[in-house]
Amino acid sequence: MSESRLREQMCLLAKSLFDRGLTHGSTGNISARTEDGGLLVSPTGTSFGRLDPDHLSRFDASGTLIGGDPPTKEMPLHTAFYDTRSSAGAVVHLHSCHSVALSMMPDANPDDFLPPLTPYGLMKLGRVKLLPFFLPGDPAMGEAVRGLAGKRSAVMLANHGPVVAGKDIEAACNAIEELEDTARLAMMTRAANVTALTQEQVQAVVTKFDVEWDA
């Protein structure tokens, strides 16, 4: 994909997330690999609803800022995914309501944050790691992702928001939407004795769709 087209697609998808309430105000950040190995990144303090293709932060393949506005303060989070997952072509971070609410529940599972309610969360995300609370912009978030050694494509920052890496910008956005929707289902059904997928059904989905699934 040409860089001009990638810039437009990033802004279009970010606006779609914003317009549907998946992030708000000037929260969230998004990045994508360019054909030359560099990065396009949403600038600091910008709204997903009003990103300008010409003002996206542009990094070269060595990680040097070469154009655009100053980048998001969450760059260590993004680069941690790119450095540990060779398949990562894009990273999206949102402050989506239901996933944040689920992260604050006392029974939240740090190693398997999303309950297996539908096959689609498994297919698009695998296991989601719940990370502890960090101050916004803290480089320790990136170090926590690096500590996973590339084994997870998605993490949930407690009391903060989800972060997902995908093979391209569209895949990353689709996956993070699935994360939020599964979290919404989990919150909606917390008071009910719902029938989640069994371990056998989970394994069948993992096997059939070749899901990345660490123990």
Q: What is the mean pLDDT of the chain?
A: 96
**Torsion on CA atoms 45, 49, 51, 57, rounded to nearest 10:** 50
**pLDDT score of 191:** 85
pLDDT above 80: residue 215: no
pLDDT above 80: residue 59: yes
Q: What percent of the chain has pLDDT over 70?
A: 100
pLDDT above 70: residue 164: yes
Over residues 8-18, the pLDDT tens digits come to 999 999 999 99
**Binning pLDDT at 50, 70 and 90, where does residue 193 land?**
confident
Which positions are catalytic?
A: 74, 120
Average pLDDT, stretch 65-91? 97
pTM: 0.96
CA atoms within 13 A on the CB side of 30: 34
Where exactly are the structural domains of the chain?
A: 3-208
Query: How far, in Å, are 90, 134, 158, 160 from residue 10 at the CA level?
Result: 10, 26, 26, 22
B/e letters for 9-28, b = 16+ CB within 10 Å, e = fewer, are: bbbebbeebbeeebbeebbb
Average pLDDT, stretch 185-200? 94
Over residues 135-145, the pLDDT tens digits come to 999 999 999 99
* The residue type at 211: V
pLDDT above 90: residue 213: no
CATH topology of domain 3-208: L-fuculose-1-phosphate Aldolase (3.40.225)
* The residue type at 162: P
